[in-house]
Structure formats: C-alpha cells, structure tokens
Amino acid sequence: MARGFTDLQLSTGWSFDTRNRTLFPTAGARHALSLQQTIPGLDVQYGVASYEFQQFFHLPWLARYPISVSGRLAQAYAEGNTTRVPPFSNFYLGGPDSVRGIREGTLGAARLAR
C-alpha cells in the first residue's frame, strides 16, 4: 500500500537574457539557474538544481539563417533519511515518439541503473 507524505519546497532562480527578441530570436543568449529544496523536518527531504542555456549565432556562409544551440543540466538529490527522490521529480530522456521502442516517461534513472 502506498504511503502519503508531506512535501513543501522553497524555490529560487536567476536568469540572464541577451536575446534580441523573446519570440523568434536571431542573436544573443539566455541562461537560467534554478534551485528547489524541501524544508528540513518534513517526511521527505530532497532538492533539485538545474541550469539551462540557449545561444543563437550565425555562420558566415549562412548569415541569413540563425543557428541555435541549447541544453539543460540538472541534478535531483535525496537528503537526510530520504533514500530516493519522489517519482514526480525524476528526469526522463526523450519525449513522445523520440526514442524508438521505449514508452514515454520510462527511460530515466531507474531504467539506466539496470
């Protein structure tokens, strides 16, 4: 039988944006850092830290078309007596129909650890 638990998080974030437009940018970059942490003394204690970036640039021979490079780094961690991060805080690879032969939401830390 599943047992319920209490979860209350504090969140903070920072972002730096030099893109020339919010919609359809062609130059500049965006950086975002976020931290989430549960309050000590609750049933479960864990945190999530993530960093996202996106850079737009032009190649000299394709000056008319912007190129975008983006990525995300994230870490979820358990603290105190908590042994695992709750399932809703896990990270999964891919999306709908992006990893052939694998159902959505099943390719993640638990599957990679096998």
pLDDT at 97: 65
Whether pTM exceeds 0.75: no
Helix (H, G, I), strand (E, B) or coil at 29: strand
State residue 8's pLDDT score.
86
Q: What is the pLDDT of residues 64-92, one digit of tens each?
A: 888 999 998 999 998 888 888 887 787 77
pLDDT single digits (tens) 6-35: 778 899 999 999 999 989 898 999 999 999
- Tell me, what's the pLDDT at 113? 43
Instruction: Find the mean pLDDT for residues 97-110.
Output: 66
Q: Which residue in 76, 82, 66 sits closest to 29, CA to CA?
A: 66
